[in-house]
Structure formats: C-alpha cells, structure tokens
Structure 1
C-alpha cells in the first residue's frame, strides 16, 4: 500500500498527458529518479490562441504564491491515529473531531471525502497583526526557518503567539500563502452542489475574494454576507466603530445549488391577508411597476367600468399581452374604485423567504451572546474569547435543503459548528454529520482556560461538544440526534523508513528490522491508516472478532477486512476470503515465508476473485 497522501501533482500531469501527450517529458526529481513532467513551453505553443503574450496580464499574485500551490500538491507521509478514550459513542457516531494542522489533514482526507462535503464553514485567523498565523514551513525562507525569526521558540517548538506585524514585508503574503493551499484542497472535498462560507474582516477581504475567484471561479460567487456582530459602539476606534464582519459564500458550481430560502416566520407572514376569500389562500399586493424604464411597457389599461389607468413612469412590469392574461387568471386584480391594479402574491407560492445579505445581531447572534453562551456551558469560565454564535452557523446550515448533509469546519476553534449541527438535528430530526479539524494551539498560561485545566484549543473544542450535547438533550428531552464524535490525531506515518526506501538498507541491517511497522502502533492505528490509504470514510461502523486466535477487523460489513497478526494460519485466510470482502489487508509479517504470501493470492483467486488484496 502507498501509505501516503494522494500525489495531486502527479494526477494533474496525467490529466494534461491525456489531452496533450506530446507535452509530457521526463525530469529528474528531488530523489534523483526520473519522473513525468510537463514541457510548459510546448504546452504554451499548443494553446497559443489562448495565451496572452507579453508581460501585461490581469492576475493576482504575491511572494510565495507558487510555493503555496506546490505545497498543496505535495504528498505527505502521515496518518490519523484513533483516540478512543477522548471520543464519545465511538462505535456508533458518524461525526469526526480531528486534531492536527489542517493543511496536512485536508491532504489525508482528499480520497476519503472527495466530493462528499455539502457545506464548509471556516473562520480562519484574521490578519490583524496580532492573531495566530499558521507557521507553514513553505512560506518561510531558509533564514527564517533555520534561525527562527519568530516562527519557533528557543526549543524549536512552534510559536503560536507570533505577531504578523504590518511592518513585516510579508504581512499580506504570509496570510495569502496560508489560506491559498487550504482552499485549493477544500474545494476538492465539496460536492457538485456544495457551498463554502468563509468569515473574514476588512484586513484580508479583498485578497480573500481574489483567491476565491481563482479557486472557485468568479462565476460561482454567491454572496458577501455582512454580519453585524456587535450592538455596542466602540468609542476607542479612530474613525468608524466597526460593527460587522464579512462572510464570503462560494459554490463549487452555482448552477447546481438549490435556491436559498429561510423558513417563513409569523413576522414574514403578517402582511398577507385574504380580503376577497381567494381559494388560493392568503395573499398580499405586489409591485406592478417595471424596475427599469422600457418604452414598450408604457401603455394604458382599460378597467371594466371604462376607467383609463395610466402606466407608471417606468411602465408596467409586463407586456400588454401578459397583463391581459394575468387579469384573466386573477393574478392581477383591479382596485375597488378601479383607480389602479394590484398584483397578487400568494403565500402558498412562497417556499420561504429569500435571505438578505445583511444579517443583524438580534436574529443571527452577536459575539457577546456567543461568549456568554460558552461561558454558561463551562460553568462560568470564559474558556474562549471570540466564538461565533450558533445562530449564525445554524442560519447557514438552514439554507441547505438536505438535512442529511456533511458539514466540515477546518478552523473549528471552540467547535461552534459542531454545536450548531447537533442543535439543528435535534430540532428537525436531521441526520447531518460534522468533521471538525483544529490544530492543538496551546492556551496561554495566564488564561482562564489554562487555569481551568485546558491546555490547548482542542481540549476546549471536544469538551464543548460534550457539554453542548448534554444541554441540547436537557432542552429537548424527546429529540434524538448523533451526540458523539470519533477523535483522530494527526501523526507521522505508521511505517518505518524501510517501508518506503528498502533499497537504502543493507543485508547486515535487516536482522533489526523484522517489522516495517513502528513499535508503538496498534491494530487500530494500522486499520485507520488503511482506510485513509484506500479512500474509505472514517466514520462508518466496524467490528473486531477472534478467529483461530487471530484478531480480524471488519469495516462496514465487508468494505474492508484486515488482520495484522503475525503468522496468520491458512484457516483464517480462507475464512476471510469466503466472506468476499471488497478489500483485504494483511501485514508483511503475517506470513512466515514468500510461498505463504503467494498462497494467499491463490486462495483469494479461488474463493473471492473480486477482492482487492494488499499487504503493508
């Protein structure tokens, strides 16, 4: 098995090769071996009618952009290790909480969740000059990396409190290089009708919009939601009291996204009435004026009593033929005194209320309300300073017509998104699932969270989900929803270096390398490593059983069966093969000799010819 994330650069080369085979050549890789590469000069010639020659072109770039693209495509040798003791309802839940740098986690999720996420919400660090900036090594030059100009402390650990000062020459570049590869990878996970919501303030709004236009396409921009996050005026602001943040909304393909509606409230319906007992039900008067002047829409309408009704200044909304048809069907009626016309808009024809792009705090929550909620959840301790309100995230989720969708947040912070998903499910019997991703950023030692025993943000997020689920059950005793989550932690690969580079080891070194698996890894570690490598979801049920003194693991009723024991007997191999799983995995040390390993292939050819068998 490959045991490393997908090589996106290699896949892209293969796609170009399928279209332009003459543009594929060979180049020497970093390891000294030849690999396929693209002759860009020849490719440019092949596309000469579309290429803009010369130096002038409309483009958006910054120092480090190319490096960030390369990093997004570069495979990694890492894995996700299960942490059952931190999880809730491990065996039954379909929710995930993943600890680790989100760039690397997104790489590992590329195959398992390709095109499966309906909604992404992220609240990335705002570039205020004081907030945490992900210290990705690829955005630093060698001097930064080696001498540690703020990215690392004296012991070589990541400095999460580093300030990205506006006086820095890479102030905007660092932030752009941080967000760009993450959004590139995130787009791959969105379904064809998926949408992403990204919260941001004024500092990087313009740059984020340009980045999103590159990654998602300008044509897939849906909205810029302005959220009024505070009701209080800030007198310490120099020019204006800033009371809002932005949320950019983009789609994978806007043509596939169902129209957005909010559920109608009594407030929305109060203007509807039925004075003429229309059988279609409640209605209200609609505008009959054209929004833009057109000469052809300026005509007189003759009322049944002979009264002449003149067109408004811009003309009517419809042509003369359409007006006559709408009068005949009753969609347009005359006023009682025949002085004008009224268009009927029926409540029954309104599936909901089209959402505005200005979201006021009294309906969508404020930062103060969010801070108060999390403080109440944690028994009066302010463990997180700037959470988003669940009303804000719930409103985004409500716009999705599917209540069985997968929601991803890879800057999960205090896990507001998980809280919102569970709360929505409790109220509408939905089956939404969540994936939370968060790096274990340490809590400051002088913070209330640290003093309360929470050493990093992940500990806060996991505990918030536990407490939120309990509170939702208390408030909704009859509700049933998935209140658990599986915890996985990003870690180095399960395999020793010899697994990837056996040719680098001599015969004399082999006696100390009987196993190519690291000694601290369990069956469950290997099992989930195989799920990632084979591109299977990480949230489905599995069982473990003992067969002839060997532990056998079955995933989702046969999507994968694995046995990692030493010297697995033939009887166990045959039992697994008779179940005809889609995939079967063994360790190299499961077989005492090469003939035994060959025999496994023959057994599966005979009993389960369609099963894919691999050895790690």
Structure 2
C-alpha cells in the first residue's frame, strides 16, 4: 500500500519545488546531465583561432575561400558563434557513435560499455554541441547528423527537443555496407541513418534531382502547351473522402459532346461527382474556383466503356525535378558547414 504521508515531513519550499518539477514533466528525453570540462572552460576562457600558414592551400591567383578548423569541436563551434552566428546554410555532423569500443573520450577518459553513465555522457555531449549548431544556422538553414542504431532513438528525441519535432524534414537510410555485417547474430546491419532538421521548416528548401529517363518517358502525350502525363482528377488515398475535404466535393457538368465542362449548373448536361467504383464519396483535387481557372490547360475528359472520368495533365515543362527518397541512399561522404557568400 502506498505511503500517503510520504510528503508530511517536507517543508513548504520543498513541496513547491516538487510541484514545479512535476509541472515540467512532458513527453521527451530526460537524462542525467554530466558536466564537461571543455564546456566549463569556455565560461572562463575564450578559445582563439590561430592561422597555420604551413597548411594553407591556395592557387597563385585566387585567395582561399574555405577554411578548416582543427581542434576540439566544442571550441570550434563556440568560436564560430562569434563570427558566423545565423550565417550558416548547412551543417553536416558525424559524431562519435558511442558503441562502447573505447573510440570516444569524455573529459579525456574513454567511455566504454561498462560505464553506467555512457548514454547520459553522450547525450550531454551532443546537447551542448547541437545548441551551438542551432545558433549558427540561418533561418533557412538545415542540419544533417549521421548516426547508427546505438544512439539513434535518443538522438532523434534530442533533436526534436532542440529543433522542434515540426522541423524534422526526414530520416534518411544510408546503405553503406550492402552485404551487411555478417558477424552479427541476427540481422546483418547494412545501413546507418541521417537525421535532417531545419531551423525553420517554413523557410527551408530542399533541392530536387534531375528527372530520370524512365520518368521523362512517362510524358507520352502532347498538346499546344507541351508534353504531359495524366493523373486522376478524383482524389484517392488519405484525406480523399468527402468528409475530409467537403469544399472539394461538388458536381461538374459536362456537355453531351464533351466539348464543355463547368462547375456551374447547366441544365441538360451530364453531372459528374467524385464517387469511386465502390460508391464511396471522394473529393476532387481542386476547389471549384481553381477548376474553372485551370480546366482549359489542365483537365482532360475520357470516356472508357461508357464511364466518364476526368484527369489532370501533369506537364513535363513544369516538373521542377524528382524529390530525393528517404531510403536506398548509398554513399560515403563527409560535409562541412557551408557559410554564406
């Protein structure tokens, strides 16, 4: 039976402190923060960058446009915040994976699998550096972090906490060993991950790939506006029912010779509603106003075996490129933060 009087001996201040802590409890990541010497040092001393001209790389005509900082990563990030705060476009980090094989030091001591605070030390290490990275990024900036299974779950929650879950752009699966690690007992690991976050997802942009030959070959039809492929004008899949988007459920009126179609009522015209072959009330892709504005250039009518269907023309010359998939990436790369010009 629980002890109902376990708080009886606490002072008012202690009870208020306990209540305040309970109010702060929320879904997320909690760990024992471990002090770090290098971070504490920066509160007393300022790290300074010293140029090493013996390692300078430049051509005879052009000045150097890039630089490499060699030293402790916390010192580097801390110093860059004096010179490049809110000026960085992209940050790629490849932190220690904390596998316990004594490849990573915390406070100058290797952290192995037997260390009780192994995960807490690693999260403390990452927390300090990610917060420095965030202040370096522009509002349009993006950060990419490589990681494997050892700390993936904790790191994802830490990123959500610092950058905001809404700013998670995706988790990429990176295939770096297609054959897998055959010495593993169960599933041979063939991949790692890249977590991709924006500082502000409403301002960030991701580039696209050039269309493949296979994609280009899909634009088989053409009209006065150029080549196109067809896509059903009636929506399907998630959020496609009438109750999901009631403003996208409306009748379209088609003349008997199919020469005229409109969202405005026409007596004697064929009435078409977005109802699928199972009788489910769906919705159209556009609202009625957009339909009227775009129908001439983008809508096509087909009568197949007596069934009338509408299609949207997706035009080749309006395709800005192919989005990168969140799986199947096979690469070996190391990127540096890229400052603005």
Decide: shared fold, TM above 0.5: yes
Q: Which has the higher helix share?
A: 1
Alpha-carbon distance between aligned partners in 2 of 1:262 and 1:73, rounded to the nearest angstrom:
42
2:225 paired residue number: 280
Alpha-carbon distance between aligned partners in 1 of 2:167 and 2:63, rounded to the nearest angstrom:
37
Q: What is the CA distance between 1:309 and its match in structure 2?
A: 5.4
1:237 paired residue number: 184
SS, match of residue 97 in structure 1? coil
2:22 paired residue number: 54
Cα displacement string for residues 192-212 of structure 1 (whole angstroms, at most 9, x for unaligned residues): 211000011111112111221
2:263 paired residue number: none
Of 155, 162, 169, the residue aligned with 1:222 is 169
Q: Is the 8 A contact 1:136 1:178 kept in 2?
A: no
Q: Is the 8 A contact 1:106 1:186 kept in 2?
A: yes
- Give the 3 Å change call, closer, same or farther, for CA 53–183 of structure 1 in structure 2: closer
1:428-467 correspondence runs (5 A): none
Of 69, 76, 100, the residue aligned with 1:129 is 100
Q: Please provide the CA RMSD for this pair.
A: 3.4
1:263-412 correspondence runs (5 A): 263-274=210-221, 277-288=222-233, 289-291=235-237, 292-295=240-243, 296=246, 301=252, 303-305=254-256, 311-312=275-276, 313=280, 315-318=282-285, 321=288, 325=292, 328-335=295-302, 337=304, 339=307, 340-361=309-330, 365=331, 388-389=332-333, 407-408=336-337
- Give the 3 Å change call, closer, same or farther, for CA 100–66 of structure 1 in structure 2: closer
1:117 paired residue number: 88
- Give the 3 Å change call, closer, same or farther, for CA 233–287 of structure 1 in structure 2: farther
Alpha-carbon distance between aligned partners in 2 of 1:85 and 1:67, rounded to the nearest angstrom:
32
Q: What is the CA distance between 1:120 and its match in structure 2?
A: 0.4
- Give the 3 Å change call, closer, same or farther, for CA 328–118 of structure 1 in structure 2: closer
TM-score, normalised via structure 1 length: 0.44
Alpha-carbon distance between aligned partners in 2 of 1:228 and 1:279, rounded to the nearest angstrom:
44
- Give the 3 Å change call, closer, same or farther, for CA 123–294 of structure 1 in structure 2: same
Structure 2 spans left out of the alignment, 5+ residues: 1-12, 258-269
SS, match of residue 211 in structure 1? helix
Cα displacement string for residues 99-139 of structure 1 (whole angstroms, at most 9, x for unaligned residues): 111111211221111111100001111121115223336xx
TM-score, normalised via structure 2 length: 0.75
Alpha-carbon distance between aligned partners in 2 of 1:246 and 1:273, rounded to the nearest angstrom:
37
Alpha-carbon distance between aligned partners in 2 of 1:133 and 1:258, rounded to the nearest angstrom:
34
Alpha-carbon distance between aligned partners in 2 of 1:110 and 1:205, rounded to the nearest angstrom:
27
1:164 matches 2:115: no
Alpha-carbon distance between aligned partners in 1 of 2:314 and 2:166, rounded to the nearest angstrom:
31
- Give the 3 Å change call, closer, same or farther, for CA 298–80 of structure 1 in structure 2: closer
Q: What is the CA distance between 1:230 and its match in structure 2?
A: 2.5
Alpha-carbon distance between aligned partners in 1 of 2:286 and 2:51, rounded to the nearest angstrom:
65
1:91-106 correspondence runs (5 A): 92-106=63-77
Alpha-carbon distance between aligned partners in 2 of 1:68 and 1:224, rounded to the nearest angstrom:
32
How many equivalent residue pairs?
299
Alpha-carbon distance between aligned partners in 1 of 2:287 and 2:89, rounded to the nearest angstrom:
44
Alpha-carbon distance between aligned partners in 1 of 2:232 and 2:119, rounded to the nearest angstrom:
47
SS, match of residue 132 in structure 2? helix
Q: Is the 8 A contact 1:72 1:181 kept in 2?
A: no
Alpha-carbon distance between aligned partners in 2 of 1:282 and 1:127, rounded to the nearest angstrom:
52
Alpha-carbon distance between aligned partners in 2 of 1:314 and 1:75, rounded to the nearest angstrom:
67
Structure 1 spans left out of the alignment, 5+ residues: 1-40, 46-50, 138-150, 152-161, 366-387, 394-406, 409-432, 435-536, 541-616
Q: What is the CA distance between 1:235 and its match in structure 2?
A: 3.6
Q: Is the 8 A contact 2:250 2:288 kept in 1?
A: no
Q: Is the 8 A contact 2:249 2:284 kept in 1?
A: no
Alpha-carbon distance between aligned partners in 2 of 1:211 and 1:115, rounded to the nearest angstrom:
21
Q: What is the CA distance between 1:182 and its match in structure 2?
A: 1.3
Alpha-carbon distance between aligned partners in 2 of 1:302 and 1:389, rounded to the nearest angstrom:
55
Alpha-carbon distance between aligned partners in 1 of 2:76 and 2:21, rounded to the nearest angstrom:
39
Q: What is the CA distance between 1:218 and its match in structure 2?
A: 2.4
Cα displacement string for residues 209-267 of structure 1 (whole angstroms, at most 9, x for unaligned residues): 12212222223221111222222144432222222211111112222213542333333
Q: Which has the higher strand share?
A: 2
Q: Is the 8 A contact 2:169 2:198 kept in 1?
A: yes
Alpha-carbon distance between aligned partners in 2 of 1:281 and 1:65, rounded to the nearest angstrom:
62
Q: Is the 8 A contact 1:71 1:181 kept in 2?
A: no
- Give the stretch that moved more between structures: 71-80 or 192-201: 71-80
